[in-house]
Structure 1
């Protein structure tokens, strides 16, 4: 029905700009909110299809689009915005291109001119999209009086001629999703539109959301895992804690319980409104004149995430030693402290593989010149070799800035060779002094400059050659858009910078060591190709612990397989109880690192008392015993794009009870972990949801048959609720290991949960198959097994 003033008195039909004054932009910030809320911004909106033609890779069509003005209007005391059609203005052409990328994935692009391939100057490994050409797919295009049809083996697209509305169905004709119709309130839904605010041209689209549908993804979200109704800050930032909308990792990808996903192929300013402005609408926009996104379908949410990773890349598996314990603080100030920690770890019989040197291994703390201090860290090769002989790998910190000091050789060289970001006057970029703050004068390495990338990579390789096994790629998220970079605009590079930065260092390390690892903080789409990421600077509170788990689950729903966090939290000093609870979750994460802020603010377990040390050792020993399971699951998860810390919605996708669970998770395919996220003062029992099926209490071996129900578990400080799925096999290494020995073999013990089970243990090279039939175990051979027992 056409909206008129007669049936809706609040509807405004006059859009004469002269009658309303000049355009005002109320909030030109790090998103596109002003397009929705400012007065007198122009929009061009899709109206009807005027022509179409089949292409070699899909379909092109032209839409007749009408011109609108976004007007701020008032009815009684209510101020709102309406899109008002401009009178006496001729329609313009909107050009749409749909390419069949795979049997279940479509790429949709549109703008006000014919859509052409964009020239991208960054190398392929620094781009979000790595599958930049469609498969050769057989598809058909047809039409009738009302619709245009595009069909592959797995999906059917219909485009209604009279409205240009696009609908996605599966091969059987079952509904998947549909573009939302235009709402008169642009703050509710713009629909398919191009907007211009007088400074930039931006593109928008909207899709319907069903009432029981839930949406996930968008990267590392500390506020909520489920995104429906949650406002999203989509601009990489120093999160400074793990309980706000700020995040280090924004990923322009969502996945729906309706078994589709949308990947917005843009690193520019982006806005996501998922039932936040209009309850039944998912809207998104980007500060680009051409909209470019993929609709991804699949038989399951897991398959949708897999198909997304087919576009942006899969994660390789980090080395076995990285799945051991990492010990760190900010910072160990000299070799004496490092060796003291190493000796105490061995004295306390705590298994550990990695010691980390944070910000202080240079001449001065934070003076990142990639050169060991001659006074505090002399003879690095010799001392690293000694630590290697004690069973420790060494990790080293750096960041993407260079302090502007003339005694920093990297700063002097980078300045001379033009490797740094510049301001509008071609001077080295500096933040203004309008606000108080820190690190405002640090120079920024321009990783869009190929020569700067090679220069920095060569220095990282030299660091690795001293015996360092991994590099921590700290920061990378706070990159100013107003700075000038060699091969990309600042507005496009801000979120993308993290990908280029981690790519350079990851590849440099791998070239020397052969290992797939960095310890990264910032990221975006495609960053999963360069594992692994950790959750940044969490606050030392139970709220910080809760937000850390939300970040882990949401980033896992965004294509990231491996994730870690600072056991104990970073900002502040954890109580012994918080430290224990964080360790219990952290040692059931893909990677485990103790870390905290302050060179005397230790995170070694003995510094929190005898009880904390004992409980920590119990869980660390269990982790090391479970190494065959952990590494096997790491290989499975990387191959199948399944996060190692898997949200319950991926375990039981059709169970609506799992949609809002954000305090428990599957650790691999078999182990359900329900960490205790509140103090004992607040909780003596823990509710745990068991999806339909048979589960076993890990500690008591009690068998529980669930119809998909909540159970209540009494909690104490010594354990957390852990359940094993029926049909699982857990394989163990020997107890009392001091490190991983970089191997998952030999297997010492096997536990079978249920009378029938099958499991293939692998380290990525060797496979070892175990079967249990009617309670009897059989193995291909026993050369990898020392002693067998099973439950």
Structure 2
């Protein structure tokens, strides 16, 4: 929200009061931090202390390299939930220290410090590395404040706050050339400077400034990140109200955020994962190809069988088959019952599919909404399982489903009932759940079962409790590391419940580029695993777009063919062209390539879970933070730490991409290009710029491997690319357990005893 009209004027109808000085510094309640009493005028004499607002700023050590900063106006305001689930794996110890000298007061939390200016009648808080005074960012004069709208004409009007909105805001400095990234799955410009961003989950598609996954965490190119600790609506003006500041505002009496010092993006993400939770593990089978029925298409058992037998005939392995919407009867979404007219024997059908070996796993679409035509609506309403209006009515609207109600997951009995419905699906043979929707959660005129929660905070937080419930139900049935969601909505912490996909995109190259930007931003928000609707969701992709999207989608961590009102099996896209440039051949090539990459991908996945890193799409700045160009790149990404991928968006087959410093090797041809620099190439549909980073040992499955799950240590190929004595490659089995580590010394691979069968070693670049 903008509180000012340019640099000099306050916005019409707004009153602002700024923290003008630090009047007093005392210890916080914990005794480890400092509490700043900040009047909204400079205190020159005793009379200045009367009839004015003050702001309290509490700075606390969170853990090494992380500080908590909380601004409060009225301390007596209720602290209503829900709150983010912080430190789910435990809170690390911190070495905190407060020092004072003539320059001010400094609080240190290991590698990060905050120094409060000691100048009389001054307001300045600098956040800096403990061993250096150069600030990461600073709260300067008129950078912390409160605002009212409409503007009260007298303080006496504030005796009744029902007609006023009250905001708390901060403005952290933006340095010259600094860029800001993250904030969830955002489809607009990669660098957020110059943008106004509202963190409020919405079903807006990929061609808008709305987002399904609003994550209140951003990363700076200057080596720090900020996590805003509230699930309510957060409004950010990132160099858009004041060009030199990031303004964060919330409606309420408090605002808390954590500042996280890296200095590298890797270290920032690792610390963020300690704060909000590490990404959950995913099973190796989930990396295979997922095939969907598509969204509003009509299909039955015969259709499903024709899709899967057609894929098998074309040598395109399908790991997971997904039943979207119309596995349910029309108007009865979502009642967890297969439409008996289309699927008279779902349990038998699923068993037959698996027994025939044409698919290994089955996923079904579901959501937390109940249409009133469904028999379960009456049951859920009668038992109090649905969200209500303040007058006691069940909250309903005709958006999406006729008379739709929303499951109230603050009710433990509703949670147990919902899980019991899922368990019936598991009994039918369902292995995974697509948890769609969860964004359009009302925040006005609603009463949750848990009366202590704030409906506005519940809007974003609903995605967390919804996906957590389903994920844990899958874990209970199938095992801790065997649970997989396909979720759309998310908030901070949802990275613990993988995986997510990018939502509704059009079947255009522009939408593919939007999806790349969304995946990059989500990866910089702590999410390890991500997918996209291959071919685009809306519309029918022309063959060239479908094939380019296949190449991009099979180099994401997870790969799903999915559309809206048209199928995505390849022969329906190009009328079954049988040449090597056809859709079927292209999908076969890229599916087989991903199978060969599995030893590398699955070992990288373990590192991502451990360190809070994205597998794919990984922004270039994570791997090359000291290269200024890396912070601008939004049309390419890293797949793990060693493979660079540049999708192709042009119908004329050309692509422009950037290579950082060093000798990069073309995966397909072995050609070496020397970076840093920009390059332009032309590619057929079977290749794209896939370059291997220098000093890489790349473990691949054998030539011709088509499976996703196999023995990643037997009959493999180890390729060396400009390997040095510090080159390493972790080898894991198909359950993620470490087998050992390969190295390179004196021109040879070390640790070869962990390889079995006819494994080969190839020096590609030296």
**TM-score of the superposed pair, with normalisation by structure 1:** 0.87
The equivalent of 2:152 in structure 1 is: none
Match of 1:234 among 199, 204, 224: 199
* 2:463 counterpart residue number: 498
CA drift at 1:373: 2.2
Task: Kindly indicate whether residue 49 of structure 2 is the aligned counterpart of residue 49 of structure 1.
Answer: no
Tell me what 1:627 maps to. Answer: 598
Q: Is the 8 A contact 2:217 2:225 kept in 1?
A: yes
Q: In terms of mean alpha carbon deviation, does 166-175 or 506-515 score higher?
A: 166-175
Indicate conservation of the 8 Å contact 1:109/1:115, yes or no. no
CA distance in 1, matches of 2:691, 2:31: 48
Quote the residue 1:138 is aligned against. Answer: 95
Alpha carbons of structure 1 residues 669 and 165: separation in structure 2 relative to 1, 3 Å: same
2:674 to 695, 701, 705: 705
Q: Tell me: CA distance 1:132–1:348, structure 2 relative to 1, closer, same or farther (3 Å).
A: closer
Alignment partner of 1:98 is 2:59 = yes
Deviations 1:522-568 (A, max 9, x none): 00110101110000111111111110100010000010110000000
- Say which of 332, 339, 349 aligns to 1:373: 339
2:420 corresponds to? 458
Distance 1:136 1:640, change over 3 A: closer
Question: How big is the shift at 1:228?
Answer: 1.0
Q: CA, structure 1 residues 169+335, in 2 after alignment: closer, same or farther (shift >3 Å)?
A: same
**Counterpart for residue 293 of structure 1:** 257
Pick from 743, 753, 756: which aligns with 1:771? 743
Number of the residue aligned with 2:543: 576
- Match of 1:213? 178
Alignment of 1:558-707 (within 5 A): 558-598=525-565, 601-609=566-574, 610=577, 611-644=582-615, 645-680=617-652, 684-706=653-675
* Aligned residue runs from structure 1 range 389-468, under 5 A: 389=355, 390=357, 391-405=359-373, 408-431=374-397, 438-439=400-401, 441-468=403-430
**Separation in structure 2 between the aligned mates of residue 721 and residue 381 of structure 1, nearest angstrom:** 44
Which has the larger displacement, 90-99 or 517-526?
90-99
Contact 2:739-2:754 within 8 A present in 1 as well: no
Instruction: State how far apart, in whole Å, the 1-side matches of 2:105 and 2:257 are.
Output: 20
The structure 2 residue matched to 1:112, chosen from 56, 73, 84, is 73
Q: Distance in 2 between matches of 1:35 and 1:279?
A: 13
Which of residues 263, 279, 293 in structure 2 aligns to 1:315?
279
The aligned length equals 719
User: Which segment is superposed worse, 202-211 or 378-387?
Assistant: 378-387
List aligned pairs for 1:169-184, cutoff 5 A. Answer: 169-182=128-141
Deviations 1:637-692 (A, max 9, x none): 11111111211111211111112110011101111001101222xxx532211111
Superposition map of 1:755-770 within 5 A: 755-756=723-724, 757-763=727-733, 764-770=736-742
SS in 2 for 1:554: helix
Give the SS at the match of 1:232.
strand
Instruction: Report whether the alignment pairs 1:360 with 2:360.
Output: no
Superposition deviation, residue 291 in structure 1: 1.2
- Greater CA drift, 263-272 or 375-384: 375-384
Specify whether residues 511 and 581 from structure 1 end up closer, same or farther in structure 2 by C-alpha distance, changes over 3 A only: same
Where does the alignment leave 5 or more consecutive residues of structure 1 unmatched?
1-31, 69-86, 184-190
Q: Distance in 2 between matches of 1:101 and 1:335?
A: 55
d(CA) in 1 for partners of 2:420, 2:331: 22
SS of residue paired to 2:196? coil
> Who is 1:281 aligned against?
245
Residue 720, structure 1, aligned to residue 707, structure 2? no
- Contact 1:42–1:196 (CA<8 Å) still a contact in 2? yes
Compute the displacement of 1:182 (Å). Answer: 4.0
Distance of 2:611 and 2:516 partners within structure 1: 22
Structure 1 746/608 Cα, relative in aligned 2: closer, same or farther at 3 Å? farther
Deviation of 1:67 after TM superposition, in Å, equals 7.0
CA contact (8 A) 2:273 2:611 kept: no
The match for 1:129 is 86
Report the alpha carbon displacement of residue 737 of structure 1 after superposing the two structures with TM. Answer: 4.8
Q: Give the drift of 1:770.
A: 2.1
In 2, the alpha carbon distance for the partners of 1:580 and 1:204 equals 47
Contact kept? 2:144, 2:169, Cα under 8 Å: yes
Whole-Å Cα distance in 1 between the matches of residues 4 and 202 of structure 2? 22
Matches for 1:494-533 after TM superposition, within 5 Å: 494-514=459-479, 515-533=482-500
Distance 1:624 1:64, change over 3 A: closer
2-structure distance, mates of 1:34, 1:414: 44
Distance 2:138 2:412 in 1: 41
Task: Give yes or no for the alignment of 1:470 onto 2:436.
Answer: no
Residues 621 and 735 in structure 1, CA contact (< 8 A), matched pair in contact too: no
Superposition pairs of residues 30-41 of structure 1, within 5 angstroms? 32-33=1-2, 38-41=11-14
CA distance in 1 between counterparts of 2:26 and 2:113 reads 17
Note the alpha carbon deviations across 1:679-729, whole angstroms, 9 max, x for none: 22xxx53221111112111121112232x2112223333321111011112
Give the deviation of 1:148 after TM superposition. 1.6
Rounded to whole Å, the distance in 2 between the matches of 1:344 and 1:204 is 58
Residues 1:194 and 2:142 are matched in the alignment: no
Aligned partners of 1:360 and 1:366 also within 8 Å: no
Task: Give 1:28's aligned residue.
Answer: none
Q: CA deviation at 1:500?
A: 1.0
Instruction: Please report how far the alpha carbon of residue 33 of structure 1 lies from its aligned counterpart in structure 2 after TM superposition.
Output: 4.5
Structure 1 residues 88 and 774, CA gap change in structure 2 (3 angstroms): closer
CA contact (8 A) 2:21 2:41 kept: no
Aligned CA distance change for structure 1 residues 784 and 113 (closer, same or farther; 3 Å)? farther
1:352 and 1:739 in contact (8 A); partners too: no
Contact 1:45 1:192 in 2 (8 A): yes
Q: Which runs of 5+ in 2 are unaligned?
A: 43-47, 150-162
The alignment yields a C-alpha RMSD, in angstroms, of 2.4
Shift in CA distance, 737/250, structure 1 to aligned 2, threshold 3 Å = same
Give the superposition deviation at 1:54: 2.6
Q: Matched residue of 1:360: which SS?
A: helix
* Distance in structure 2 (CA, Å) of the matches to 1:319 and 1:743: 14
> SS of the counterpart of 1:196?
strand
Taking structure 2 as the reference length, the TM-score comes to 0.89
1:440 to partner: Cα distance: 6.4
CA–CA distance in structure 1, aligned partners of residues 165 and 82 of structure 2: 22
How many angstroms does 1:57 deviate by?
4.8
Shift of 1:144: 3.3
Which among 247, 259, 267 is matched to residue 303 of structure 1?
A: 267
Match of 2:37 among 52, 63, 81: 63
Task: Please say which of residues 626-635 and 588-597 is displaced more in the overlay.
Answer: 626-635
Distance 2:402 2:49 in 1: 52
Deviation at 1:351, TM superposition (A): 1.7
Q: Give the match for residue 156 of structure 2.
A: none
1:204-245 per-position Cα deviation (integer Å, ceiling 9, x unaligned): 0011111111111100010122111123232111122x2221
Provide the secondary structure at the position in 2 that maps to 1:456.
helix
> Is residue 333–residue 401 contact of structure 2 (8 Å, CA) maintained in 1?
no
